[in-house]
Amino acid sequence: MQQPSQTSNQSDMTDTQLPQVAESHNEPRNPGMALDMNWVRAVQANTSAIERRAGNLGARRSLKKDHQAAWMLKAITCIDLTTLAGDDTVGRVRRLAAKAAQPVRADILDALGVSGITTGAVCVYHEMIAPALEALKGTGIPVAAVSTGFPAGLSPFALRIEEIRESVKAGATEIDIVISRRHALTGNWQALYDEVRTMREACGEAHMKTILATGELGSLRNVARASLVCMMAGADFIKTSTGKESVNATLPVSLVMIRAIRDYYQRTGFRVGYKPAGGISKAKDAVTYLTLIKDELGDDWLSPHLFRFGASSLLGDIERQLEHHITGHYSAAHRHPIG
């Protein structure tokens, strides 16, 4: 991964319209490749340059009025609306599915002249796949299931693989797996590659989002190398966090992972998706992430097929900001329930 330049992509973007991105379901899937240790060892991360670039992101963006609303609507289509709690119930999942299918109040969408907006997916534990599928029937919204001993990933390996197979059998078309952090922390890249490759095979036709738990990897260099190894092993997406770590998605980590995706695409011709998760709860932050994707990867990645937010509270703030855009007034949060 090349070190971030202090001058690249530095032009101001004022009132920038969201590009019209073709929504393609036929994106060639990343097949992976043999582990290339020369490439992995060559990857470095210039922490000070990365942090400077990340620190300038929000300051250079001035999106206003209709343009800002368009970016917020795009963000909604990229949300994996998520419930991963020990007290999840069928009723909660049904309410979440209803919100995924109608994420913004009808009167707000009517005022914006928009229809057909849904979230990118609904993400649940294995036990909630069946009620999620039932509640989402006919919507076209996929069900994602967290797997492989989520969130720690420390259950016996054979059970983690079987958990993937069971979730695919139950109907999940996206599987969010977690890596064994110790492999990255000790530099055992062969073990990480073999683990993720086996998980990818267990996923079959279901797309695999590989959670790195970046807050537990120790350094940005480890994040960069783990990102690359997981893509070599066939990850369809790389994802920052489980949302359960003390540090989740951050802009410096995102920049490292996004540039690893760019390098992988330039070398192999295969696009891998990106999913920041945990701690993204404000509409303005979502827009910052989208503009980062546009700057670093280009318009093709501004699609739920290649970009997702792992979030739940984010949707409520976006809906509230959209109402403010229409009325000029902020409404109470309870007017925008998520389930």
**Please, which residues have CB within 8 angstroms of residue 11's CB and are 6 or more apart in sequence?**
none
66 is catalytic: no
Half-sphere exposure of 122 (CA within 13 A, CB side): 34
Alpha-carbon span 18 to 119, nearest angstrom: 18
Residue 215: name the closest of 226, 200, 230, 207 by CA: 226
Catalytic residue among 275, 295, 300, 317, which?
275
What φ, ψ does residue 177 adopt, rounded to 5°? -100, 160
Do 240 and 257 touch, CB atoms closer than 8 A? yes
64 is catalytic: no
Do 94 and 135 touch, CB atoms closer than 8 A? yes
Beta strands at 143-146 and 61-62: parallel, antiparallel or unpaired: unpaired
Alpha-carbon span 161 to 181, nearest angstrom: 17
What's the one-letter identity of residue 116?
G
Catalytic residue among 209, 239, 285, 294, which?
239
Alpha-carbon Rg of the chain, whole angstroms? 19
Alpha-carbon span 258 to 172, nearest angstrom: 26
Catalytic residue among 176, 236, 285, 300, which?
176
275 is catalytic: yes
Residue in the structure block whose two tokens are 């996206």: 174
Q: CA-based angle 24:28:29, to the nearest 5?
A: 115
Alpha-carbon span 201 to 57, nearest angstrom: 38
Tokens of 144: 């994602």
Helices (H), 33-89: 37-42, 47-55, 65-77
Alpha-carbon span 220 to 253, nearest angstrom: 7
Residues with catalytic annotation?
A: 176, 239, 275
